[in-house]
């Protein structure tokens, strides 16, 4: 029996899954998934902007079941990463930096197609 894949989903990953991107469909199928409240906030905004309140509520209620707890250490680790990346002239959003920290704590791969994460460890980079 193969071990279950574990992925922390950034907003990019969720949107690609919902768009039917086969690379994301394959990886997320049968995997243990998590995301953060901030990623859910971004997801809600995108759907509210592009599809209206009913669609935003629907997608939010579906993905909130994957919401991981944010602890103090996630904030500290995430903001330290954001600062390190800024010194390399790579901009990370607060949501992305925090999500990466949560993924590390939960020992999950950070699933994304965001180029800012391409060279970081513990990332499953997919376009």
Q: What is the pLDDT of residue 3?
A: 75
> In this predicted model, what pLDDT tens digit does every residue of 48-89 receive, in sequence order?
999 999 999 999 999 999 999 999 999 999 999 999 999 999
Domain residues for 91? Answer: 6-125
| Total domains in the fold of the chain | 1
Tally of CA atoms within 13 A in the half-sphere of 114 that contains its CB: 23
Q: What is the pLDDT of residue 1?
A: 67
* pTM for this predicted structure: 0.94
Residue 62 within any structural domain of the chain: yes
Residue 60 within any structural domain of the chain: yes
Residue 110 within any structural domain of the chain: yes
Residue 44 belongs to a domain with what CATH number? 3.40.50.1010
Residue 1 within any structural domain of the chain: no
């Amino acid at each position: 029996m193969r071990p279950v894949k574990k992925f922390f989903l950034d907003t990019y990953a969720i949107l690609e899954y919902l768009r039917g991107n086969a690379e994301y469909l394959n990886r997320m199928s049968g995997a243990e998934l998590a995301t953060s409240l901030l990623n859910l906030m971004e997801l809600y905004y995108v759907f509210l902007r592009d599809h209206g309140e009913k669609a935003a509520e629907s997608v939010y209620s579906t993905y909130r079941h994957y919401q991981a707890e944010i602890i103090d250490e996630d904030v500290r680790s995430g903001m330290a990463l954001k600062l390190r990346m800024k010194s390399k002239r790579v901009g990370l959003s607060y949501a992305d930096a925090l999500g990466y920290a949560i993924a590390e704590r939960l020992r999950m791969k950070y699933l994304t197609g965001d180029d800012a994460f391409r060279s970081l460890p513990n990332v499953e980079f997919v376009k």
